[in-house]
Structure 1
Amino acid sequence: MNTRIESDLLGTMEVPADAYYGIQTLRAAKNFQITGVPIAHFPELIRALAMVKAAAARTNQDFGQLSDKNADAIVYACQDLIQGLHHDQFIVDVIQGGAGTSTNMNANEVIANIALTKLGFNKGDYQHLHPNDHVNRSQSTNDAYPTAVCLGLQFAADNFLPTLISLKASLEEKGREFAHIVKMGRTQLQDAVPMTLGQEFEAFAVNLGEDVDRIKEACALLCEVNLGGTAIGTRINAPAGFSEAVVQKLATISQKPLVPASNLVEATSDMGAFVFFSSMLKRLAIKLSKMSNDLRLLSSGPRTGLGEIRLPEMQPGSSIMPGKVNPVIPEAMNQTAYQVMAADMAVSLAAESGQLQLNAMEPLIVYNLFNSLKMLKAACEMLEQRCIRGITANEDICRDYVERSIGIVTALVPVLGYSVASKLAREALLTGATIKELVLQQQLLTEQELEQALNIEKMIFSQKEG
């Protein structure tokens, strides 16, 4: 393999001649072989890093810190990354020591070497354009990296939210499709009162719709960034006014309403926005898992469970039991949700573990947030396309459960009183008789009065207007 020699503070190394990354990236790749997940796995983060570097280059140019030639070359290189080129050059494991320095240097070196080739020089000819002196000018890992994370998470959320909205729409469609199907509602796994299957699916949709708004709120918190604060928020090595100018330029490039943090020292050490964002992903994961549990219960059987709905049959369910089909799609969603919940705990621990003016555990936060979004997007697409859209109802079973349920006695409380209704429920449970049979046997109501009191549609829509 052809190589070039690069040097840093620790000595020299051979770097692959055709690589856009350099010696510091290569050291980090050798040091951190933790997850097997390189930065390249999260393209939104790379795009965000490139935008940060492009904004910094143009601002440095405005402030006389970079020549027009070098600034143009850096921006050219950043545009390549923004368009999706050269992402394979981001080889450092997402989890790393150094508070993200390796990620920042991976970006600095790749951008520098793309820019050098644009200027007609060889990769590694850093005397003409240097990763630190030029690409990283007026910046530190401690402001460039978290700013890129804030921006990249917004891009990832933009990519995810349409998937969640589409899932919500499919649930709403099922709500309309099942609006006429009467079934028994249950609390604590016991018969409660009648409802429709449509109401059950409509509730799923509303539940997820709330989280679309919550994730958007979490993204709004990520718009306050510490770019320009450099090492610890004191703006060392950055010209006066740089923070305000570079954030404004980054907002224009990214089309996100970014603003400088009101206190850059606080913003450099605080992980609160990431904790909140993670909490919103956990909240969504809990809801998705609960819904998946309900789908598994409602489809249980097919003959000895509830069997109120049928899930699409996706694959044989057993290597020994012929004919068995399992609810594999909701099960996979459950497992995805558990992983997101666990990731939230990791984010919480990492956020708490910061010391003084910096949190060195930020790479763990980054890995878990981006990975959770990636997993949730894939799982929500799977759930919608391979499960929700194909669900059908067992209408006769749903109606039969209502007719035989003791729970309908609740509708008789206004007519007969709670004590009498309780006795009827108890007797029905002990004898196996239906509520209707007992009421008529005991001549508590006429048949006409009973039918009016136990009108199922009236029970379901008793509070409906119009």
Structure 2
Amino acid sequence: MTEPTTHRIEKDSMGEKAIPSAAYYGIQTLRAVENFPISGLKPLPTYVDACLLIKKAAAIANGELACIPTELSQAIVTAADEILKGDLRDQFIVDVYQAGAGTSHHMNINEVLANRALELLGDEKGNYSRVSPNDHVNYGQSTNDVIPTAIRIGGLLALEHTLYPGLAGAIATLQAKATEFQDIVRSGRTHMQDAVPIRLGESFRAWEVILTDHLRRLRTAAQDLCILGLGGSATGTGLNTHPKYRHRVAELLAGFTGQPLTSAPHLMAAMQSMAPFVSVSSALRNLAQDLVKISHDLRLLDSGPKTGLKEIQLPPVQPGSSIMPGKYNPVMAEMTSMVCFQVMGYDQAIACAAQAGQLELNVMMPLIAYDLIHSIEILGNTISALDKRCLAGITARPDRCRDFAEGSLALVTALNTHIGYLNAAAIAKESLETGKSMRQLVLEKNLMPADQLNEVLDLEKMSKIPE
């Protein structure tokens, strides 16, 4: 009895290698795995999806235009659809840090699709004379136009699936909290010192507006991701492509993604410049910076419970100490800051990579692909978790807020226009030294009548934002 073979032999321009029989990847993928045992990081699922959508659209377009046989086109499309639904996801195995421009990952995609298409046609994996990773799956394409297009589509998918919904949820929660806390007066603080009173609700409304503005900026930046250089082939000239291919493939991808994708007016420019990715990354960094500030504010306002501000209560979600019983920490806010720092670091790496292109190609695209899509997804997941596990459960401590507001030396600011800045400063200083209230000192010195003083020091009026 003949034992089943465990390997098949594949050949490329450099020679032959034994490939595990069960593997859907091929010889070029295996060379990349051997060459780049760097991080253990594999391509992000969203990035793989983007590549598969491109290959599906290309196969349809090339089949319609009679560039590849219809039978092969249909098999490649079916293979892509199967993998998009979840099959063979373990076959994409090339390390994130790999050959420049992303050729290794690109060939991993091409080989898996070719071998699955062969199976669908009743043939054996590795029979590339019938379905070739290069001649059929990759017809009219190049790493140089596929990978920047995949980054665009991957970024758009990640924004739609994670970051936009996460931001929308957090914005809605902050809006609800702003209404809930609108009548609670608290002491403002600038330079970490007492400042004039504000409304707790307006603090939350400010965060709502900040995140709403960031959502708008992200959507604006993402518009440039919709301009595709696909069809430029190796250098942007469209060599080996059908004249109608680039517009048809953009039309198909627009239908698959629901995005307003169009072919770039100048394919070479779209392939060379990483500016759209830098713009989106910059918008992510900008959002991350404000999220750090918000997360730190939440921690300060919740600090205590006995020795801090404790004007709000963040929902406890897990024990906070391995040694101190009863301790709860603001872990969701802490996690948010850490993720934001990572996004800021990714932005710096993307900026460095984007300027490192030469002539017709930027070979640093694998780094940009991973860092950009990962930034979007971890930031979106973080905001969703912060919203559901922290923001939605925040409660206020109105009495604590009121005590701080009424005891703030900054209330003296309201007296400026009535007794003058220097007199007001003297009152504040004496109040701090003697422990007497500012109200008591103003009355003792006959600087203002009591009824006028009560009106001036009305916390509700002082803390109201003008319409």
TM-score, normalised to structure 1, is 0.96
Within 1, Cα distance between the matches of 2:34 and 2:406?
Answer: 68
Q: Give CA-to-partner distance per residue, 1:131-167, whole Å, 9 cap, x none.
A: 0000000010100111111111100110111112111
Shift of 1:274: 0.5
| 1:273 alignment partner in structure 2 | 276
Q: Which secondary structure does the structure 1 equivalent of 2:100 belong to?
A: coil
| 2:119 alignment partner in structure 1 | 117
Contact 1:21 1:110 in 2 (8 A): yes
Q: Give CA-to-partner distance per residue, 1:405-438, whole Å, 9 cap, x none.
A: 1111111222222232222222223322221111
Q: Tell me which amino acid in the other structure corresponds to 1:398.
A: C
Q: Which secondary structure does the structure 1 equivalent of 2:101 belong to?
A: coil
Shift of 1:358: 0.6
> Which of 14, 35, 40 is residue 36 of structure 1 equivalent to?
40
Within 2, Cα distance between the matches of 1:99 and 1:295?
Answer: 42
| 1:130 alignment partner in structure 2 | 132
| 2:293 alignment partner in structure 1 | 290
Within 2, Cα distance between the matches of 1:428 and 1:68?
Answer: 88
Within 2, Cα distance between the matches of 1:329 and 1:243?
Answer: 46
| 2:240 alignment partner in structure 1 | 237
Pairwise CA RMSD? 1.5
> Which of 250, 253, 258 is residue 255 of structure 1 equivalent to?
258
Shift of 1:462: 5.9
Within 2, Cα distance between the matches of 1:68 and 1:389?
Answer: 54
> Which of 105, 110, 114 is residue 108 of structure 1 equivalent to?
110
> Which of 360, 376, 383 is residue 380 of structure 1 equivalent to?
383
| 1:148 alignment partner in structure 2 | 150
| 2:327 alignment partner in structure 1 | 324
| 1:83 alignment partner in structure 2 | 85
Within 2, Cα distance between the matches of 1:433 and 1:309?
Answer: 28
Q: Which secondary structure does the structure 2 equivalent of 1:76 belong to?
A: helix
> Which of 455, 458, 464 is residue 461 of structure 1 equivalent to?
464
Moved more, 27-36 or 106-115: 27-36
| 2:181 alignment partner in structure 1 | 178
Q: Does 1:14 align with 2:18?
A: yes
Q: Tell me which amino acid in the other structure corresponds to 1:89.
A: Q
Contact 2:141 2:231 in 1 (8 A): yes
Q: Does 1:353 align with 2:352?
A: no
Q: Does 1:301 align with 2:327?
A: no
Q: Which secondary structure does the structure 2 equivalent of 1:289 belong to?
A: helix
Within 2, Cα distance between the matches of 1:76 and 1:164?
Answer: 35
Moved more, 195-204 or 9-18: 9-18
Q: Tell me which amino acid in the other structure corresponds to 1:115.
A: A
Moved more, 1-10 or 295-304: 1-10
Q: Tell me which amino acid in the other structure corresponds to 1:96.
A: Q
Within 2, Cα distance between the matches of 1:253 and 1:302?
Answer: 52
Q: Tell me which amino acid in the other structure corresponds to 2:63.
A: Q
Q: Tell me which amino acid in the other structure corresponds to 1:354.
A: G
In the comparison of the two structures, how many residue pairs are matched? 462
- Describe how 1:161-240 pairs up with structure 2 within 5 A: 161-240=164-243
Contact 2:157 2:257 in 1 (8 A): no
Pair 1:82–1:321, CA change in 2 (3 A)? closer
Contact 1:55 1:250 in 2 (8 A): yes
| 1:55 alignment partner in structure 2 | 57
Q: Which secondary structure does the structure 2 equivalent of 1:185 belong to?
A: strand
Q: Tell me which amino acid in the other structure corresponds to 1:7.
A: K
Shift of 1:324: 2.9
Shift of 1:296: 0.9
Q: Which runs of 5+ in 1 are unaligned?
A: none
Contact 2:42 2:94 in 1 (8 A): yes
> Which of 340, 344, 361 is residue 347 of structure 2 equivalent to?
344
TM-score, normalised to structure 2, is 0.95
| 1:25 alignment partner in structure 2 | 29
> Which of 305, 314, 319 is residue 317 of structure 2 equivalent to?
314
Contact 1:329 1:387 in 2 (8 A): yes
Q: Which secondary structure does the structure 2 equivalent of 1:15 belong to?
A: strand
Contact 2:159 2:377 in 1 (8 A): no
Q: Give CA-to-partner distance per residue, 1:63-98, whole Å, 9 cap, x none.
A: 221111111111111211232322221111122123
Within 2, Cα distance between the matches of 1:27 and 1:407?
Answer: 69
Contact 1:43 1:84 in 2 (8 A): no
Contact 2:311 2:397 in 1 (8 A): yes
Q: Tell me which amino acid in the other structure corresponds to 1:36.
A: G
Shift of 1:120: 0.8
Q: Tell me which amino acid in the other structure corresponds to 2:291.
A: L
Shift of 1:360: 0.6
Moved more, 312-321 or 343-352: 312-321
Q: Give CA-to-partner distance per residue, 1:252-288, whole Å, 9 cap, x none.
A: 3332211112221122111000001111111111111
| Percent identity of equivalent pairs | 46
Contact 1:153 1:370 in 2 (8 A): yes
Q: Tell me which amino acid in the other structure corresponds to 1:94.
A: V
Within 2, Cα distance between the matches of 1:60 and 1:207?
Answer: 46
Contact 1:95 1:367 in 2 (8 A): no
> Which of 408, 411, 431 is residue 408 of structure 1 equivalent to?
411
Within 2, Cα distance between the matches of 1:33 and 1:391?
Answer: 46
Within 1, Cα distance between the matches of 2:274 and 2:73?
Answer: 32
Within 1, Cα distance between the matches of 2:312 and 2:154?
Answer: 40
Q: Tell me which amino acid in the other structure corresponds to 1:270.
A: S
| 1:159 alignment partner in structure 2 | 161
Q: Tell me which amino acid in the other structure corresponds to 1:62.
A: E
Contact 1:51 1:250 in 2 (8 A): yes
Within 2, Cα distance between the matches of 1:85 and 1:212?
Answer: 34
Within 1, Cα distance between the matches of 2:419 and 2:360?
Answer: 69
Q: Which secondary structure does the structure 2 equivalent of 1:100 belong to?
A: helix
Contact 1:25 1:105 in 2 (8 A): yes
Moved more, 244-253 or 6-15: 244-253
Contact 1:405 1:434 in 2 (8 A): no
